[in-house]
Amino acid sequence: MEKVTIKNITAQLLDIPIKRPHQFSAVKVSSKSFVLLKVELSNGIIGIGEGTTPGIFWNGESVETMKLVIDQYVTPLLLDQDPVLTEALLQKMNRQIRGNYFAKATVEMALLDALGKWYNIPVHQLLGTLHKDKIPVRWALASGTPEGDIEEAKEYVTSGKYDNFKTKSGKEAPEDDAKRSIRIAEGIRAHSTIGIDPNGSWDRLTSMKWMGDFFDAGIDFLEQPLPPQDVEGLARLAAMKKVPIMADESASTIDDAMRLAKADAADIFSLKIHKAGGMKNTIKVAGIAEASGISCFGGTSLESSIGTAACVHAYASIPNLDYGSELFGPDWLADDPVKEPVTIKDGYIYVPDKPGLGVELDEEKVSAYLRQ
């Protein structure tokens, strides 16, 4: 049998509009940028991967840095190599390129998509076996006012599309943010719950002061209230045993996960395939959580159906995904560069069952959103 090798790698930038501007703690965005990666094997199979970040504020990477790292440093390492030895290729990348986890995850995604298509099996079978065939999805409320958020939540619950929510905070003073979150939680508590995500913008004292009120308002979790490096602060909040503390920015890599677990600094890990450096690493993070009695939540970097499919393949194999997910990216974008988007309905996202990631590129849309 002729040996199959990696023949060609191309990375393109896409800018896709979103349905409405989204306020993070640090920035407001009105479109989302992606790296679209194609890895072509010598047998003609093309695997696709998608790289995207919440923004450069999040971990220091952007789509532009990902494209540069892939073009300049990853491609020479992978060309003419055997794609079957994916783990060895990933280790080689790790030895030669420090950090840049979002870029590495994009490469892993395209390699596993190619292998899945070649073997004619979905990516989740390359990763292990499924624990669930669908996982719950929360929607992020971001209308701009508490009344608007309560109204939006009620509409989603009535239509059956989503029944649990997250709210972004960090734009206002921590004190005002806390009060706004409590108002939203109290406004929707009859039918659903919210988690709060200040993206590391609060301080220890504000967080401690409001923990009791968050608990009384029925808030589900407090995600990354403190800056990523303040693991000791997270441990103090977790020790209060009020609202469960979720680590996101603090819990990026498998090493971070170990450090947090040892410090009892989180009740929940928010997983993200890009921050961990790929789907396999994400499952390793979940394993550290499982052994430490920590629950998992399926986080998003707001991917299109390509990256979202990769997330679902990984998350749906994780037994301790107790808090569901926030994989609403395809619903939040105004368009999706695939022929058939992933299925999100009745508050769940379904695991694709076609070979590879299970999504097919729509080349016309790709051309329309290609950065010139």
- Residues lying near Mg ion in the complex (CB under 5 A) are found at 197, 248
Do 46 and 37 contact (CB within 8 A), yes or no? no
Q: In what order do the strands lie in the sheet with 194-197?
A: 139-141, 165-168, 194-197, 222-223, 245-247, 268-271, 295-298
SS3 content of the chain, % helix, strand, coil (to 5): 40, 20, 35
What one-letter code names the amino acid at 254? Answer: I
Q: Which residue numbers are catalytic?
A: 168, 326
Structure tokens at 181: 């979150």
Provide, rounded to whole angstroms, the least separation between the CB of residue 234 and Mg ion. 13
| Residue least distant from Mg ion (Cβ) | 248
Instruction: Name the phi and psi angles at 17, rounded to 5.
Output: -65, 155
User: Cβ closer to Mg ion: 58 or 156?
Assistant: 58
Residue type, 138: R
**Nearer to Mg ion (CB atom), residue 177 or residue 197:** 197
Nearest to 326 by CA among 287, 268, 264: 268
CB nearer to Mg ion: pick between 54 and 352: 54
What is the chain's length? 372
182, amino acid identity: I
CB of 278 to Mg ion, least distance (A): 19
CA–CA separation, 49 vs 215, rounded Å?
40
- Taking the C-alpha atoms of residue 81 and residue 323, their distance in angstroms, rounded to an integer, is 39
Minimum CB distance to Mg ion, residue 111 (Å): 27
Distance CA 276, CA 273 (A): 5
Parallel/antiparallel/unpaired status of strands 295-298 and 268-271:
parallel
For residue 46, the SS3 value is: strand
Give ∠ CA 227-102-77 in degrees, rounded to 5.
140
Q: Smaller CB distance to Mg ion: residue 113 or 223? A: 223
Cα separation, 247 vs 326, whole angstroms: 15
| Closer by beta carbon to Mg ion, 123 or else 327 | 327
